DNA sequence: GCTGAAAACCTCAGGAC
DNA sequence: GTCCTGAGGTTTTCAGC
Protein backbone atom coordinates (compact mmCIF):
# COMPACT_ATOMS: atom_id res chain seq x y z
CA UNK A 1 0.00 0.00 0.00
CA UNK A 2 0.91 3.62 -0.47
CA UNK A 3 1.74 6.01 2.30
CA UNK A 4 1.12 9.75 2.21
CA UNK A 5 4.52 10.47 0.69
CA UNK A 6 3.98 8.05 -2.19
CA UNK A 7 0.62 9.62 -2.89
CA UNK A 8 2.20 13.03 -2.79
CA UNK A 9 4.83 11.93 -5.31
CA UNK A 10 2.15 10.53 -7.61
CA UNK A 11 0.11 13.70 -7.33
CA UNK A 12 3.11 15.77 -8.35
CA UNK A 13 4.07 13.53 -11.26
CA UNK A 14 0.59 13.30 -12.73
CA UNK A 15 0.53 17.08 -12.91
CA UNK A 16 4.07 17.52 -14.23
CA UNK A 17 6.30 14.69 -15.31
CA UNK A 18 9.23 16.97 -16.08
CA UNK A 19 9.93 17.54 -12.39
CA UNK A 20 13.43 16.46 -11.46
CA UNK A 21 13.89 13.96 -8.67
CA UNK A 22 15.59 16.75 -6.79
CA UNK A 23 12.58 19.08 -6.83
CA UNK A 24 10.15 16.27 -5.99
CA UNK A 25 12.36 15.28 -3.09
CA UNK A 26 12.29 18.85 -1.83
CA UNK A 27 8.51 19.05 -2.04
CA UNK A 28 7.93 15.81 -0.14
CA UNK A 29 10.71 16.48 2.39
CA UNK A 30 13.05 13.70 1.39
CA UNK A 31 16.53 13.59 -0.04
CA UNK A 32 16.99 12.45 -3.60
CA UNK A 33 18.02 8.87 -2.90
CA UNK A 34 14.94 7.62 -1.06
CA UNK A 35 12.72 9.74 -3.28
CA UNK A 36 14.29 8.27 -6.38
CA UNK A 37 13.91 4.76 -4.94
CA UNK A 38 10.21 5.38 -4.26
CA UNK A 39 9.60 6.56 -7.79
CA UNK A 40 11.35 3.47 -9.14
CA UNK A 41 9.15 1.26 -6.99
CA UNK A 42 5.97 3.09 -8.02
CA UNK A 43 6.96 2.57 -11.63
CA UNK A 44 7.91 -1.09 -11.14
CA UNK A 45 4.65 -1.87 -9.33
CA UNK A 46 2.65 -0.22 -12.07
CA UNK A 47 1.26 2.78 -10.22
CA UNK A 48 2.89 4.93 -12.84
CA UNK A 49 1.88 3.51 -16.19
CA UNK A 50 3.52 5.85 -18.62
CA UNK A 51 4.70 9.38 -19.22
CA UNK A 52 3.25 11.21 -22.18
CA UNK A 53 3.24 14.64 -23.76
CA UNK A 54 -0.14 16.35 -23.99
CA UNK A 55 -0.52 18.29 -27.21
CA UNK A 56 -2.55 21.39 -27.94
CA UNK A 57 -5.95 20.73 -29.49
CA UNK A 58 -6.13 24.33 -30.67
CA UNK A 59 -2.71 24.41 -32.26
CA UNK A 60 -3.31 21.15 -34.07
CA UNK A 61 -6.74 22.22 -35.24
CA UNK A 62 -8.62 19.43 -33.52
CA UNK A 63 -11.13 21.55 -31.72
CA UNK A 64 -14.24 19.43 -31.97
CA UNK A 65 -15.36 16.77 -29.49
CA UNK A 66 -18.17 14.50 -30.56
CA UNK A 67 -19.88 12.02 -28.28
CA UNK A 68 -21.25 9.03 -30.11
CA UNK A 69 -23.99 6.96 -28.52
CA UNK A 70 -24.24 3.50 -29.99
CA UNK A 71 -26.91 0.85 -29.72
CA UNK A 72 -26.43 -2.56 -31.25
CA UNK A 73 -28.40 -5.76 -31.62
CA UNK A 74 -25.25 -7.87 -31.88
CA UNK A 75 -23.94 -9.18 -28.59
CA UNK A 76 -21.77 -12.14 -29.52
CA UNK A 77 -18.05 -12.35 -28.82
CA UNK A 78 -17.04 -12.21 -32.44
CA UNK A 79 -18.85 -8.95 -33.03
CA UNK A 80 -17.47 -7.43 -29.83
CA UNK A 81 -13.90 -8.31 -30.75
CA UNK A 82 -14.34 -6.85 -34.19
CA UNK A 83 -15.83 -3.72 -32.65
CA UNK A 84 -12.98 -3.34 -30.16
CA UNK A 85 -10.35 -3.81 -32.85
CA UNK A 86 -12.04 -1.29 -35.10
CA UNK A 87 -12.14 1.34 -32.34
CA UNK A 88 -8.48 0.73 -31.56
CA UNK A 89 -7.59 1.28 -35.18
CA UNK A 90 -9.46 4.59 -35.43
CA UNK A 91 -7.24 7.33 -33.99
CA UNK A 92 -10.13 9.81 -33.81
CA UNK A 93 -11.69 7.63 -31.12
CA UNK A 94 -9.93 8.71 -27.96
CA UNK A 95 -12.30 7.08 -25.49
CA UNK A 96 -14.74 4.20 -25.68
CA UNK A 97 -16.91 2.72 -22.96
CA UNK A 98 -19.35 -0.15 -22.73
CA UNK A 99 -22.28 1.30 -20.87
CA UNK A 100 -25.10 0.23 -18.67
CA UNK A 101 -28.58 1.44 -19.51
CA UNK A 102 -30.23 2.02 -22.84
CA UNK A 103 -27.07 3.02 -24.71
CA UNK A 104 -24.64 0.16 -25.32
CA UNK A 105 -21.49 2.12 -26.09
CA UNK A 106 -20.28 5.68 -25.68
CA UNK A 107 -17.39 7.09 -27.69
CA UNK A 108 -15.57 10.37 -27.52
CA UNK A 109 -14.26 11.32 -30.92
CA UNK A 110 -11.81 14.14 -31.66
CA UNK A 111 -11.91 15.80 -35.07
CA UNK A 112 -11.08 19.10 -36.76
CA UNK A 113 -14.61 20.02 -37.84
CA UNK A 114 -18.02 18.70 -38.76
CA UNK A 115 -16.89 17.59 -42.19
CA UNK A 116 -14.11 15.55 -40.66
CA UNK A 117 -16.66 14.01 -38.33
CA UNK A 118 -18.84 13.09 -41.25
CA UNK A 119 -15.93 11.27 -42.87
CA UNK A 120 -15.23 9.48 -39.61
CA UNK A 121 -18.88 8.58 -39.18
CA UNK A 122 -19.15 7.07 -42.63
CA UNK A 123 -16.07 5.01 -42.03
CA UNK A 124 -17.34 3.82 -38.66
CA UNK A 125 -20.73 2.65 -39.88
CA UNK A 126 -19.18 1.04 -42.96
CA UNK A 127 -16.88 -1.08 -40.83
CA UNK A 128 -19.27 -2.23 -38.12
CA UNK A 129 -22.89 -3.27 -37.99
CA UNK A 130 -24.60 -0.88 -35.57
CA UNK A 131 -28.30 -0.74 -34.84
CA UNK A 132 -28.46 2.92 -33.87
CA UNK A 133 -25.88 5.69 -33.76
CA UNK A 134 -26.53 9.16 -32.44
CA UNK A 135 -23.95 11.93 -32.23
CA UNK A 136 -23.80 14.87 -29.88
CA UNK A 137 -21.36 17.74 -30.37
CA UNK A 138 -19.62 19.50 -27.52
CA UNK A 139 -19.87 23.27 -27.76
CA UNK A 140 -17.05 23.84 -25.30
CA UNK A 141 -14.64 21.78 -23.28
CA UNK A 142 -14.81 23.16 -19.76
CA UNK A 143 -12.43 20.76 -18.10
CA UNK A 144 -10.07 18.06 -19.20
CA UNK A 145 -7.50 16.47 -16.98
CA UNK A 146 -5.54 13.23 -16.93
CA UNK A 147 -4.98 13.62 -13.20
CA UNK A 148 -6.82 11.07 -11.08
CA UNK A 149 -8.40 12.09 -7.77
CA UNK A 150 -6.00 10.85 -5.08
CA UNK B 1 3.03 25.30 -39.87
CA UNK B 2 4.34 21.86 -39.12
CA UNK B 3 6.21 19.67 -41.54
CA UNK B 4 6.15 15.90 -41.57
CA UNK B 5 9.14 15.64 -39.23
CA UNK B 6 7.53 17.89 -36.60
CA UNK B 7 4.37 15.80 -36.75
CA UNK B 8 6.43 12.67 -36.41
CA UNK B 9 8.16 14.09 -33.33
CA UNK B 10 4.80 15.02 -31.79
CA UNK B 11 3.40 11.59 -32.52
CA UNK B 12 6.33 9.96 -30.75
CA UNK B 13 6.20 12.26 -27.73
CA UNK B 14 2.49 11.93 -27.18
CA UNK B 15 2.95 8.19 -26.96
CA UNK B 16 6.04 8.24 -24.78
CA UNK B 17 7.51 11.34 -23.23
CA UNK B 18 10.46 9.47 -21.72
CA UNK B 19 12.11 9.10 -25.11
CA UNK B 20 15.53 10.72 -25.17
CA UNK B 21 16.26 13.36 -27.76
CA UNK B 22 18.80 10.92 -29.11
CA UNK B 23 16.27 8.17 -29.81
CA UNK B 24 13.74 10.58 -31.26
CA UNK B 25 16.43 11.98 -33.53
CA UNK B 26 17.24 8.47 -34.72
CA UNK B 27 13.59 7.68 -35.46
CA UNK B 28 13.04 10.84 -37.49
CA UNK B 29 16.44 10.66 -39.19
CA UNK B 30 18.02 13.73 -37.65
CA UNK B 31 20.92 14.34 -35.33
CA UNK B 32 20.26 15.44 -31.79
CA UNK B 33 20.86 19.17 -32.27
CA UNK B 34 18.19 19.96 -34.88
CA UNK B 35 15.84 17.48 -33.28
CA UNK B 36 16.34 19.14 -29.93
CA UNK B 37 15.77 22.57 -31.47
CA UNK B 38 12.53 21.41 -33.07
CA UNK B 39 11.26 20.05 -29.77
CA UNK B 40 12.12 23.35 -28.08
CA UNK B 41 10.23 25.25 -30.75
CA UNK B 42 7.23 22.94 -30.53
CA UNK B 43 7.20 23.52 -26.79
CA UNK B 44 7.65 27.29 -27.08
CA UNK B 45 4.88 27.61 -29.66
CA UNK B 46 2.54 25.61 -27.49
CA UNK B 47 2.14 22.49 -29.60
CA UNK B 48 3.40 20.54 -26.62
CA UNK B 49 1.40 21.73 -23.63
CA UNK B 50 2.76 19.62 -20.84
CA UNK B 51 4.27 16.30 -19.92
CA UNK B 52 2.42 14.22 -17.39
CA UNK B 53 2.56 10.80 -15.78
CA UNK B 54 -0.49 8.60 -16.34
CA UNK B 55 -1.34 6.58 -13.27
CA UNK B 56 -3.00 3.19 -12.99
CA UNK B 57 -6.73 3.30 -12.35
CA UNK B 58 -6.65 -0.32 -11.17
CA UNK B 59 -3.76 0.11 -8.77
CA UNK B 60 -5.29 3.24 -7.27
CA UNK B 61 -8.70 1.62 -6.95
CA UNK B 62 -10.49 4.13 -9.14
CA UNK B 63 -12.14 1.68 -11.47
CA UNK B 64 -15.49 3.34 -12.04
CA UNK B 65 -16.36 5.84 -14.76
CA UNK B 66 -19.65 7.65 -14.47
CA UNK B 67 -21.11 9.90 -17.13
CA UNK B 68 -23.30 12.62 -15.74
CA UNK B 69 -25.86 14.29 -17.98
CA UNK B 70 -26.97 17.65 -16.69
CA UNK B 71 -29.85 19.89 -17.64
CA UNK B 72 -30.26 23.30 -16.11
CA UNK B 73 -32.72 26.15 -16.28
CA UNK B 74 -30.08 28.69 -15.31
CA UNK B 75 -28.20 30.24 -18.20
CA UNK B 76 -26.79 33.48 -16.83
CA UNK B 77 -23.08 34.25 -16.59
CA UNK B 78 -22.97 34.20 -12.84
CA UNK B 79 -24.37 30.70 -12.64
CA UNK B 80 -22.05 29.47 -15.39
CA UNK B 81 -18.98 30.84 -13.65
CA UNK B 82 -20.01 29.26 -10.39
CA UNK B 83 -20.62 25.98 -12.19
CA UNK B 84 -17.23 26.09 -13.92
CA UNK B 85 -15.41 26.86 -10.67
CA UNK B 86 -17.22 24.08 -8.85
CA UNK B 87 -16.25 21.54 -11.50
CA UNK B 88 -12.65 22.69 -11.37
CA UNK B 89 -12.59 22.20 -7.64
CA UNK B 90 -13.96 18.66 -7.79
CA UNK B 91 -11.07 16.31 -8.60
CA UNK B 92 -13.42 13.42 -9.43
CA UNK B 93 -14.59 15.40 -12.46
CA UNK B 94 -11.97 14.63 -15.08
CA UNK B 95 -13.89 15.94 -18.08
CA UNK B 96 -16.70 18.44 -18.54
CA UNK B 97 -18.35 19.62 -21.74
CA UNK B 98 -21.04 22.10 -22.60
CA UNK B 99 -23.20 20.29 -25.09
CA UNK B 100 -25.51 20.95 -27.94
CA UNK B 101 -28.87 19.23 -27.92
CA UNK B 102 -31.19 18.36 -25.10
CA UNK B 103 -28.46 17.80 -22.50
CA UNK B 104 -26.70 20.98 -21.38
CA UNK B 105 -23.56 19.48 -19.83
CA UNK B 106 -21.79 16.16 -19.87
CA UNK B 107 -19.29 15.15 -17.20
CA UNK B 108 -17.03 12.17 -16.84
CA UNK B 109 -16.45 11.37 -13.21
CA UNK B 110 -13.86 8.92 -11.86
CA UNK B 111 -14.55 7.20 -8.54
CA UNK B 112 -13.69 4.05 -6.61
CA UNK B 113 -17.19 2.60 -6.42
CA UNK B 114 -20.88 3.38 -6.37
CA UNK B 115 -20.79 4.58 -2.78
CA UNK B 116 -18.06 7.06 -3.65
CA UNK B 117 -20.16 8.23 -6.56
CA UNK B 118 -23.11 8.78 -4.26
CA UNK B 119 -20.99 10.96 -2.01
CA UNK B 120 -19.78 12.90 -5.06
CA UNK B 121 -23.32 13.27 -6.37
CA UNK B 122 -24.65 14.65 -3.11
CA UNK B 123 -21.85 17.16 -2.97
CA UNK B 124 -22.40 18.21 -6.59
CA UNK B 125 -26.12 18.84 -6.24
CA UNK B 126 -25.62 20.60 -2.92
CA UNK B 127 -23.22 23.09 -4.46
CA UNK B 128 -25.04 23.92 -7.68
CA UNK B 129 -28.62 24.38 -8.72
CA UNK B 130 -29.31 21.82 -11.42
CA UNK B 131 -32.66 21.14 -13.02
CA UNK B 132 -32.04 17.53 -13.96
CA UNK B 133 -29.13 15.16 -13.40
CA UNK B 134 -28.90 11.66 -14.76
CA UNK B 135 -25.97 9.31 -14.30
CA UNK B 136 -24.83 6.47 -16.47
CA UNK B 137 -22.19 3.99 -15.35
CA UNK B 138 -19.58 2.56 -17.66
CA UNK B 139 -19.32 -1.22 -17.42
CA UNK B 140 -15.95 -1.33 -19.11
CA UNK B 141 -13.43 1.10 -20.52
CA UNK B 142 -12.55 -0.23 -23.96
CA UNK B 143 -10.21 2.53 -25.04
CA UNK B 144 -8.61 5.51 -23.42
CA UNK B 145 -5.84 7.51 -24.99
CA UNK B 146 -4.43 10.99 -24.60
CA UNK B 147 -2.93 10.78 -28.08
CA UNK B 148 -4.56 13.07 -30.63
CA UNK B 149 -5.10 11.90 -34.22
CA UNK B 150 -2.32 13.55 -36.24
C1' DG C 1 18.28 24.65 -42.28
C1' DC C 2 22.04 20.93 -40.81
C1' DT C 3 26.49 18.43 -38.36
C1' DG C 4 29.64 17.32 -34.77
C1' DA C 5 31.83 18.02 -30.53
C1' DA C 6 32.38 19.93 -26.01
C1' DA C 7 30.39 21.68 -21.61
C1' DA C 8 26.87 21.58 -18.13
C1' DC C 9 23.61 19.10 -15.93
C1' DC C 10 21.02 15.34 -13.92
C1' DT C 11 20.14 10.69 -13.03
C1' DC C 12 21.34 6.62 -11.07
C1' DA C 13 23.67 3.47 -8.02
C1' DG C 14 26.84 2.48 -4.36
C1' DG C 15 29.02 2.89 0.19
C1' DA C 16 29.21 4.85 4.90
C1' DC C 17 26.55 6.39 8.78
C1' DG D 1 16.07 6.93 6.42
C1' DT D 2 20.56 10.73 5.34
C1' DC D 3 24.75 12.30 3.16
C1' DC D 4 28.28 12.01 -0.21
C1' DT D 5 30.52 10.41 -4.18
C1' DG D 6 31.31 9.19 -9.00
C1' DA D 7 30.17 7.02 -13.45
C1' DG D 8 27.23 7.36 -17.12
C1' DG D 9 24.00 9.41 -19.87
C1' DT D 10 21.36 13.32 -21.34
C1' DT D 11 20.58 18.00 -22.36
C1' DT D 12 22.27 22.18 -24.13
C1' DT D 13 25.38 25.36 -26.31
C1' DC D 14 28.61 26.64 -29.82
C1' DA D 15 31.38 26.86 -33.98
C1' DG D 16 31.22 25.59 -38.71
C1' DC D 17 28.89 23.73 -43.03
∠ CA(B104), CA(B105), CA(B111), 5° rounding? 155
Q: How many CB pairs under 8 A join A and B?
A: 214
Boundaries of domain holding B15? 4-44
The verdict on residue B23 lying in a domain is yes
The verdict on residue B150 lying in a domain is no
What pLDDT shows up at residue B75?
A: 85
* Mean pLDDT of the residues in chain A: 95
What pLDDT shows up at residue B83?
A: 97
Residue at minimum CA to C1' distance from nucleotide D10: B20
A80 and A17 in a common domain? no
What pLDDT shows up at residue A131?
A: 94
Contact assignment for A143 to B93 by CB distance below 8 Å: yes
Number of structural domains, chain A?
2
Residue spans of alpha helices (H) in A16-147: 21-27, 32-44, 77-89, 114-127
C-beta of residue B14 within 8 angstroms of C-beta of residue B146:
yes
pTM for the predicted model, two decimal places: 0.95
> First CA to last CA across chain B, in angstroms?
13
Q: Tell me, yes or no, if A85 comes closer than 8 A to chain B by beta carbon.
A: no
C-beta of residue A63 within 8 angstroms of C-beta of residue A109:
no
Average of per-residue pLDDT across A7-27: 93
Write the pLDDT tens digit of every residue in A49-102. 999 999 999 999 999 999 999 999 988 999 999 999 999 999 999 999 999 989
Q: With bands split at pLDDT 50, 70 and 90, how would you rate the model's confidence at B1?
A: confident
B74 and B32 in a common domain? no
B80 and B124 in a common domain? yes
Residue A103 has pLDDT above 90, yes or no: yes
B123 and B68 in a common domain? yes
What pLDDT shows up at residue A75?
A: 85
Residue A13 sits at φ, ψ, to 5 deg, of: -70, -30
What pLDDT shows up at residue A90?
A: 98
Q: Burial level of B65, CB count in 10 A (0-12/13-18/19+)?
A: buried
B130 and B85 in a common domain? yes
Amino acid sequence: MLDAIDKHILALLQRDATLSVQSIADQVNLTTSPCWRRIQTLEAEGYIQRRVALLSRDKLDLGVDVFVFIRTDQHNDEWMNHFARTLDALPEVVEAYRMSGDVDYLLRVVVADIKAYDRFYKRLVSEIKLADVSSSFAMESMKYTTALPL
